[in-house]
Structure 1
């Protein structure tokens, strides 16, 4: 009997060693690839329901973040609520714009626009043509061929009217820039501070005369017969910079993770540009889940038309870092600071280091 027991024991021991070896090999493989769920680094993102930042869902579904070893934990919230979560240390990233960053830093909070998602040129003054017999900017421009005079005549028609907008986002600074350029005074307009979501009902009910908002709200009232009086493409430096903000301290403590995030975002935006037919349905579906109806056709009409998306490092270097680029970062951030100082939103000379507000510059250097 013993002659059979010894070979059996040796065989069993060999099997145990083989299984253990396979387990270690599999574990090592997971560590090398970094693609297993339990090996991913978690980043919490406060995300607002807008079609531009919802582009992030394409990157998640296509696995671009997982490829970089990242799992995004998304918390749905409105724009202001997301900024509150970031400032309060509840999330690592939040949807934000240049105006948010300037305001927060003026109050001593070290936020920075680290991850560019879109450059917003979609703000327009929407009005009811059946209520007001106003001429549009395009009509005035056709008559006199002078852009500054056309802007002055257009905006002068609305003096004394109620202009609904969110004063904490870029539409406010865009409106003020138009008035300044045209030589008009913001005190001649009744600016009503409202959330983006409340603007269309207010305009439709007649409680405000003009609405300046994000693109979903603009498209919603346009479907009801409202028209654009003027939009911000008439003044290029009003085009705002938007994306995901982070705390500088967190970025500096997580340099490798920070650059991987930027790589995943650039991959996502490049994929959308190259594959809109595959990407837009993903955005539309996720927008529906939060109660916002937008069609693939509407996305096509605004993508790189009213909003422009950085599809990679070359785009960023040519259009954002380059002083001659369409979205030169320093011109825009300085304009926001100047307007907020002039309007009494922030103290004079409170913002001293513009580059600290736009951390993408450092991340791009690290990637290269």
Structure 2
């Protein structure tokens, strides 16, 4: 998500005014459950919520959870604000920026967390096997691909460069979709890529080198993403969202304790090659957001100019 333009801020204000009351979950007369809709994207990170539905954690709390999967995460924030989704999943940087734009978003639970181990995280920075780059500091003056600019990828890669003694301002970031990164790296279109699973494993297995674990360099317990809703939605039905949060926590705990179940369910909602699913690195799924790691990330957002001043995280982290 890029920094807001005046037109974007005006559009945000109009959206807030038009949807101030939001929608409300509906009761399903057939079974007495309350229908709740969540916006997700088909990636490894959301495996816990799929497992939670399968295991009945939401139904046990009277919730009929409908998962709406899209091709990307750009629509989930306006989807929550408009009432299309009751809650959704997004990375922390996007949520902080949205709050700074005036959107009253608030986190319900953690979503996904760095594995915390150098060279064994679910994402990293990669170069060709014969590259002269040996560490993140060597990225000065080179081009590095990230799926979005001014977001969690380039923010954390800059921290890897900084931690290695380099100047992150000298790195040229270019926007490139994850699926295009392996070919772009091999053809020399870019010098390095920041990739997450399953693309990270594809690059590793092609023999290329990982030179930094950018999430770990930022914080070993980095909360990368969260499930969130709007303050308006919680005010409309606080008991419902207490139940949603409890079910999310149970789902995350189940996923964290059962990595084989995570790998199994990925085949149900993603198009990842089954053989790759068995080999790729998984993140962690703790229930609670690691607040210190989020504050570290917010400080970096100020340092790198994504936001103009220290964001107020109290509303987001509630």
TM-score, normalised by the number of residues in structure 2: 0.79
> More relative contact order in 1 or in 2 (CA 8 Å, sep 6+)?
2
Do residues 159 (structure 1) and 140 (structure 2) align?
yes
How far did residue 120 of structure 1 move? 2.7
How far did residue 253 of structure 1 move? 2.0
> d(CA) in 2 for partners of 1:302 and 1:334?
26
Matched residue, 1:269: 252
TM-score, normalised by the number of residues in structure 1: 0.69
How far did residue 68 of structure 1 move? 1.0
Distance 1:205 1:80, change over 3 A: farther
The alignment of Structure 1 onto Structure 2 pairs a total of residues equal to: 282
Matched residue, 1:204: 186
Do residues 44 (structure 1) and 20 (structure 2) align?
no
How far did residue 342 of structure 1 move? 2.5
> d(CA) in 2 for partners of 1:57 and 1:239?
22
Any idea what SS the aligned residue of 2:144 has? strand
CA RMSD of aligned residues (A): 2.5
Matched residue, 2:316: 357
How far did residue 80 of structure 1 move? 2.2
Structure 1, residues 173-229: CA drift from partner, whole Å, max 9, x if none? 211222333443222111112333443343233221111122222112222222211
Structure 1, residues 144-184: CA drift from partner, whole Å, max 9, x if none? xxxxxxxxxx2232221110012254222211222333443
Instruction: Give unpaired runs (5+ residues) of structure 1.
Output: 1-33, 136-153, 321-327, 360-368
> d(CA) in 1 for partners of 2:154 and 2:217?
15
Q: Is the 8 A contact 2:28 2:34 kept in 1?
A: no
Matched residue, 2:242: 259
Q: Is the 8 A contact 1:106 1:347 kept in 2?
A: no
Matched residue, 1:302: 281
Q: Which residue among 198, 214, 235 is the counterpart of 1:216?
A: 198
Any idea what SS the aligned residue of 1:228 has? strand
Distance 1:58 1:35, change over 3 A: farther
Q: Which residue among 77, 101, 109 is the counterpart of 2:103?
A: 109
Q: What does 1:1-368 correspond to in 2, within 5 Å?
A: 37-77=30-70, 78-121=72-115, 122-130=122-130, 132-135=131-134, 154-165=135-146, 166-232=148-214, 233-236=216-219, 239-287=222-270, 291-294=271-274, 295-298=276-279, 302-303=281-282, 307-310=283-286, 316=288, 328-329=290-291, 331-349=292-310, 351-352=311-312, 354-359=313-318
Q: Is the 8 A contact 2:52 2:251 kept in 1?
A: yes
- Of structures 1 and 2, the larger Rg is shown by 1
Distance 1:297 1:91, change over 3 A: same
Instruction: Give unpaired runs (5+ residues) of structure 2.
Output: 1-26, 116-121
Distance 1:293 1:113, change over 3 A: farther
> d(CA) in 2 for partners of 1:236 and 1:202?
29
Distance 1:37 1:179, change over 3 A: farther
